Amino acid sequence: MSSNNMFTSSVGKKLVMAFTGIFLVLFLVVHAGLNACIWAMDGGVMFNRAGHFMGSNVVPRILEVGLFFFIFLHIIQGYMLTLQNRSKRAVGYAVNYTKGSKWYSRSMAILGTILLMFFVIHWKHFWIPSRITGVEEIKLPNGVEVHNLYAVMQETFQNIWVVVFYVVSCISLAYHLAHGFQSAFKTIGVHNKRYHAMISCIGYGFAIIIPLAFAMMPISFYLHWVK
Amino acid sequence: MAHNNLNLKLKVWRQKNANTTGAFVKYDVNDISDEMSFLEMLDVLNEKLIVTGEEPIAFDHDCREGICGMCSLYIDGKPHGPWQANTTCQLHMRAFKDGDTITIEPWRSNAFPIVKDLTVDRGAFDRIIQAGGYVSVNTGNAVDGNSLPINKDNADASFAAAMCIGCGACVAACKNSSAMLFLSAKVSHLALLPQGEPERKSRVLNMVAQMDKEGFGSCTNTGACEAACPKEISIANIARLNKEYLRAGITAE
């Protein structure tokens, strides 16, 4: 075996899942951080300014290309691996072995599918209007005209079913991360006990804090905590 | 300790050979001492079947001491039955209650084709070992055991990995039929020792390639393998295997 098929063997495909997964984890930090600007309580000025920077500056635009590439690689590879793995046991068991593993570890594809459905709806809510179909402009205090994404959020999250769907998606994200975060680091070879304990701990913390922050955004708008 | 006799109902997978489809067959086994091992209980049933002119149930076994890796059986939804860190041959009937129904299935994986009834062909493991699970040594006099200094932690971790008896419970337990716990034990065992150094890179690459060829699935770190392993092989070995693979893949010529 040469290094040519390093990323196409069973271990290699998992490496691709891990590297893209870690990239997506980093993206979540950036996304949650920027969105937290809604809590600046300034009528969305800071949030719209942050959104304008992300949409107009060349660095985030280049990173966005990478984000789309990695997210689709993660999704497609994930589905292919799930189908391949399922095909390895033509005759199943009468009694399944469920005690040895967590349900969410076994359900990454289902959790991922909920997240994929979420992305489609989320893109339709925000990304497509902002990039393609257009969003109402607003003038910032410094005179710059920007998309009023804050108003789009306010309007979108007045619908209780949208809020419920976003919260359910955040719960799926939490469980997806609870397995995915630490699993990704195992896949890239972290076996040292001390580091592994640390990564598990950070992973569970991350899986709670980030989805909780995201879930609080539609809830904050729905309950008019931010105005 | 009280001695009890159990009356049990068994649901056993019967299959003539690899080319036929199998089905569960129900059997009643009565007056089973709770001091018997699980395989002795099956021996009792088989003797009864032979007397009545029926085909006895085929199952793998050899040492019956929990060290050879020959016994298998997926009992009530867990490889090697309900006890932890235990092989089927060391599972005793006191694990069950009078009147229990016990479901017995073979290891299920395309890479382990059924030979007959509960017996599967685990030759895939042998071929993975042949692909790289060895070290090269010079012939001649045996060298002094203490001539090579080995870090104690590494020696212990290597020994723990070498505990793997290659029974295949990890494959049977895994939802993906992945052989990664087995493979990682074999790779770690040798990668941690200076004796394994010459083939360190080719070993992991060749063994992974052979594992894929045999038709095992890939690892998703669910931990089912570790929980079912009769020798408590740690899933940390899989992370070590991944590291060895990444290292070998990046630095390969």
Q: Are B223 and A196 within 8 A, CB to CB?
A: no
Q: Report if residue A78 sits inside a domain.
A: yes
Q: Are residues B98 and B173 in the same domain?
A: no
Of A91 and A2, which is predicted with more confidence?
A: A91
Q: Report if residue A89 sits inside a domain.
A: no
Of A44 and A6, which is predicted with more confidence?
A: A44
Q: Report if residue B118 sits inside a domain.
A: no
Q: Give the residues across from B29 on adjacent strands.
A: B8
Q: Report if residue A92 sits inside a domain.
A: no
Instruction: Report the residue of chain B nearest A107, measured CA to CA.
Output: B222
* Rounded mean pLDDT, A94-118: 95
The interface predicted TM-score of the complex, written ipTM, equals 0.91
Instruction: Report the residue of chain B nearest A88, measured CA to CA.
Output: B110
How far apart, in whole angstroms, are the C-alpha atoms of residue B83 and residue B80? 8
Chain B positions in Cβ-Cβ contact with residue A108 (cut-off 8 Å): 220
Nearest to B164 by CA among B183, B178, B185: B185
Q: How far is B20 from chain A (nearest CA, A)?
A: 13
Q: Are residues B146 and B90 in the same domain?
A: no
Chain A positions in Cβ-Cβ contact with residue B23 (cut-off 8 Å): none
Q: What is the pLDDT of residues A119-148, one digit of tens each?
A: 999 999 999 998 888 889 999 888 889 999
- Tens place of pLDDT for every residue, chain B, 253 residues? 678 899 999 999 999 998 999 999 999 999 999 999 999 999 999 999 999 999 999 999 999 999 999 999 999 999 999 999 999 999 999 999 999 999 999 999 999 999 999 999 999 999 999 999 999 888 888 878 788 889 999 999 999 999 999 999 999 999 999 999 999 999 999 999 999 999 999 999 999 999 999 999 999 999 999 999 999 999 999 999 999 999 999 987 7
Q: Give the residues across from B10 on adjacent strands.
A: B27, B102
Chain B positions in Cβ-Cβ contact with residue A106 (cut-off 8 Å): 175, 222
Q: What is the pLDDT of residues A14-38, one digit of tens each?
A: 999 999 999 999 999 999 999 999 9
Q: Are residues B236 and B171 in the same domain?
A: yes
Tally of domains within chain B: 2
Instruction: Report the residue of chain A nearest B105, measured CA to CA.
Output: A93
Q: Are A188 and B242 within 8 A, CB to CB?
A: yes
pLDDT bracket for residue A4 (50, 70, 90): low
- CA triple B200-B203-B207, angle to 5 deg: 150
How far apart, in whole angstroms, are the C-alpha atoms of residue B75 and residue B82? 7
Chain A positions in Cβ-Cβ contact with residue B79 (cut-off 8 Å): 97
Q: Report if residue B52 sits inside a domain.
A: yes
> What are the CA-CA distances from residue A29 to residues A24, A25, A78, A214 (Å)?
9, 7, 22, 10
* CATH number assigned to the domain comprising residue B86: 3.10.20.30
Q: Which domain holds residue A116?
A: 9-83+106-222
Q: Are residues B81 and B184 in the same domain?
A: no
Q: Are residues B90 and B203 in the same domain?
A: no
Q: Detail the DSSP E strand segments found in chain B.
A: 5-14, 23-33, 74-75, 78-79, 101-105, 114-116, 119-120
Q: How far is A206 from chain B (nearest CA, A)?
A: 19
Chain A positions in Cβ-Cβ contact with residue B221 (cut-off 8 Å): 105, 179, 182-183, 186-187
Q: Which two tokens stand for residue A202?
A: 């950070």
Tally of domains within chain A: 1
Query: Which pLDDT belongs to residue A5?
Result: 77
* Rounded mean pLDDT, A166-178: 98
The whole-angstrom distance between residue A17's C-alpha and the CA centroid of its chain comes to 14
Mean pLDDT of the residues in chain A: 94
Q: Are residues B57 and B139 in the same domain?
A: no
Q: Are residues B128 and B244 in the same domain?
A: yes
Chain A positions in Cβ-Cβ contact with residue B219 (cut-off 8 Å): 10-11, 14, 187
* CATH number assigned to the domain comprising residue B215: 1.10.1060.10
Query: Which pLDDT belongs to residue A163?
Result: 97
User: Looking up tokens 């649901």, which residue turns up?
Assistant: B11
Q: Are residues B40 and B99 in the same domain?
A: yes
Q: Are residues B73 and B181 in the same domain?
A: no
Q: Report if residue B112 sits inside a domain.
A: no
Q: What is the pLDDT of residues B153-200, one digit of tens each?
A: 999 999 999 999 999 999 999 999 999 999 999 999 999 999 999 999
Q: Are A95 and B77 within 8 A, CB to CB?
A: yes
Q: Which two tokens stand for residue B98?
A: 């009078």
Among partner residues B173, B176, B221, which is closest to A100 by beta-carbon distance? B173
Residues 231-250 of chain B with CB under 8 A from chain A are: 235-247, 249-250
Q: Are residues B137 and B236 in the same domain?
A: yes
Q: Report if residue A95 sits inside a domain.
A: no
Q: Report if residue A3 sits inside a domain.
A: no
Q: Report if residue A1 sits inside a domain.
A: no
> What are the CA-CA distances from residue B164 to residues A106, B186, B218 (Å)?
24, 8, 19
Q: Burial code of B179-206, b = ≥16 C-beta within 10 A, e = fewer?
A: bbbbbbbbbbbbbbbeebeebbbebbbb
Residues 114-143 of chain B with CB under 8 A from chain A are: none
Q: Are residues B230 and B178 in the same domain?
A: yes
Query: Which pLDDT belongs to residue A1?
Result: 47
Q: How far is B140 from chain A (nearest CA, A)?
A: 32
Among partner residues A81, A96, A108, which is closest to B218 by beta-carbon distance? A81
Checking B1-4 for CB contacts under 8 A at 24+ apart, the result is B3/B33, B3/B34, B3/B35, B4/B33, B4/B34, B4/B94, B4/B98
Q: Does B110 touch chain A (CB under 8 A)?
A: yes
Query: Which pLDDT belongs to residue B1?
Result: 61
Among partner residues A93, A188, A193, which is closest to B246 by beta-carbon distance? A188
Q: Which domain holds residue B165?
A: 123-251
